[in-house]
């Protein structure tokens, strides 16, 4: 963090860490404490990054109930202070990450998981260049159930899908303008926005950066910006993977390439096919994909998105300019040759997603993993290893995977599995209204 960062005119200050589910957790503190936190950090419990989706402690985490819930030192990340205005009050947020008392990174912190992979790439003189695409739905904040938003121009609820509609972008221009303004203030490189397949669904692309940690930060804080601005406009913004059963899901697509020490893209060999290193990276991604699904689809709802014929992958496959494949190699200028990873939902933790992708690609490069040939038609009708179709299968795959333990620290693996098992158990105890209307008096 820059040493010249000061509280200035800030009226409220929040310090926060990112938990396993991609939720920010922390404290509101007096602004006069900022200088001390910048220089010496702040204490928060290690369990702050390993609670379940409802914010409850993990019952299987011995660090909470056996050792007394130990504290960690939380230091500012290099992101620095993020300023924003809320209801006319000048506020700021200071992102933190956790370290042990001896100064070592706490391996259960998702941001440190990504930093570990970036460090391994750096040791091989490789720098990832990353761009992300996030989809979300706007909804009516006054509706009792998810419902498309009211158009600011017509005063009526949207009632149809309108992919790539310029008119729909113009209808929500005021909202989008405020999103872009807030992104600019927080140094989030928001680029193109499009109207997506779903009713009230949009996608915003975040420009590529040669800093994977910043790319993950950008995705995390972009989601907060969109949600906050939507509320200001009387709407709800949802990054839930599948908020509507019959509409498109929300994806989190990741584009990346790798630069060598001279700044050359190692995926480019002057051909449309790309280099051997690109193919090794693809091979590593495909090999790790089934066991990685808990990272890319971490929630019960996530698996409603992963259905055939929905532009969401169901098999570990790859292809050139093929959006039905899990891994797509876009066309265009050879010097910009890159990989697009299309598996993760917008509900996933950006730090874990990028760590899982870059870690698997690195493993493929190290082991020179050759992928099977690229598919040329629909991935849904092509050969390929089927991806887990439900949460329990993904939990089992991640939990039993030797490869995941090579990408993620054992501490994080154990905490993440405990978190997902605890969440699944609660869902299994819930009887849905649809079940009751279907079975209550019939069977």
Nearest to 360 by CA among 283, 442, 245: 283
Residue 416 resides in a domain:
no
Boundaries of domain holding 339: 119-408
Q: Of 359, 279, 272, nearest to 327 (Cα)?
A: 279
Look at residue 275 and give its three-state secondary structure: coil
Q: Provide the 8-state DSSP code for 106.
A: P
Residue 77: which residues within 8 A CB-CB, separation 6 or more? 1, 95, 96, 97, 111, 213, 217
Task: Return the pLDDT at 330.
Answer: 95
Which secondary structure element, helix H or strand E, spans residue 430, and what is its range? none
**pLDDT computed for residue 3 by the predictor:** 35
CA distance 190 to 175: 14
pTM score, two decimals?
0.94
Q: 314 with 377, same domain?
A: yes
Residues 166 and 85 in one domain: no
> Strands 89-99 and 12-18: what pairing?
parallel
Residue at 389 is within a domain:
yes
pLDDT at position 32: 87
Q: Cβ neighbours of residue 377 under 8 Å, at least 6 residues apart?
A: none
pLDDT of residue 308: 84
| CATH number of domain containing 363 | 3.30.590.10
pLDDT of residue 277: 98
Q: pLDDT tens across 127-153, in order?
A: 999 999 999 999 999 998 899 898 888
Residue 264 lies in a domain: yes
Do residues 261 and 293 share a domain? yes
Pick the closest to residue 318 from 328, 306, 307, 308 (CA basis): 328
**Domain count of the chain?**
2
Both 40 and 154 in one domain: the answer is: no
Identify the pLDDT of residue 41: 87
pLDDT given at position 203: 94
Domain boundary among 81, 107, 133: 107
Is residue 279 one of the residues assigned to a domain?
yes
CATH number of 53's domain: 3.10.20.70
Rounded Cα distance, 179 and 277, in Å: 38
Phi, psi of 83 (to 5 degrees): -100, 150
Low pLDDT (below 70) residues in the chain? 1-8, 62-68, 86-88, 161-164
């Amino acid at each position: 963090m820059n040493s010249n960062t000061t509280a200035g005119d800030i009226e409220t200050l929040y310090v926060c860490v990112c938990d396993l589910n991609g939720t920010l957790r922390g404290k509101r503190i007096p602004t006069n404490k900022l200088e001390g936190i910048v220089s010496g950090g702040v204490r928060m419990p290690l369990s702050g990054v390993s609670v379940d989706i409802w914010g409850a402690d993990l019952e299987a985490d011995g660090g909470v109930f056996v050792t007394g819930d130990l504290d960690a030192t939380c230091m500012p990340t290099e992101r620095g202070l993020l300023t924003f205005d809320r209801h006319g009050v000048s506020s700021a947020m200071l992102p933190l990450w956790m370290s042990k008392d001896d100064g070592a990174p706490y391996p259960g912190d998702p941001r440190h998981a990504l930093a570990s992979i970036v460090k391994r790439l750096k040791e091989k003189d490789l720098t990832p260049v990353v761009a992300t695409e996030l989809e979300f739905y706007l909804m009516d904040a006054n509706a009792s159930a998810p419902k498309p938003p009211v158009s600011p121009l017509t005063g009526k609820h949207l009632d149809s899908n309108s992919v790539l509609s310029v008119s729909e972008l113009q209808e929500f221009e005021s909202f989008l303008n405020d999103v872009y303004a807030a992104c600019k203030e927080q140094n989030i490189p928001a680029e193109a926005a499009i109207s997506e397949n779903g009713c009230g669904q949009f996608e915003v692309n975040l420009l590529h950066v040669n800093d994977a940690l910043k790319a993950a930060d950008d995705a995390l804080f972009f989601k907060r910006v969109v949600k906050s601005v939507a509320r200001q406009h009387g709407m709800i913004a949802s990054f839930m993977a599948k908020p509507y059963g019959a509409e498109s899901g929300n994806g989190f697509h990741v584009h990346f390439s790798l630069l060598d020490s001279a700044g050359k893209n190692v995926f480019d060999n002057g051909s449309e096919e790309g280099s051997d290193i690109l193919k090794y990276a693809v091979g590593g991604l495909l090999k790790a994909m089934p066991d990685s699904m808990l990272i890319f689809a971490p929630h019960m709802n996530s698996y409603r998105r992963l259905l055939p014929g929905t532009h969401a992958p169901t098999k570990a496959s790859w292809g050139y300019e093929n959006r039905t494949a899990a891994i797509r190699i876009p066309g265009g200028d050879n010097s910009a040759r890159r990989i697009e990873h299309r598996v993760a939902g917008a509900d996933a933790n950006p730090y874990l997603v990028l760590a899982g992708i870059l870690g698997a690609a690195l493993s493929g490069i190290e082991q020179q993993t050759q992928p099977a040939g690229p598919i040329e038609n629909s991935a849904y009708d092509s050969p390929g290893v089927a991806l887990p179709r439900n949460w329990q299968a993904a939990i089992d795959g991640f939990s039993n995977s030797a490869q995941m333990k090579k990408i993620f620290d054992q501490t994080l693996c154990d905490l993440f599995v405990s978190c997902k098992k605890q969440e699944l158990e609660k869902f299994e105890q819930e009887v849905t209204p649809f079940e009751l209307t279907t079975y209550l008096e019939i069977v």
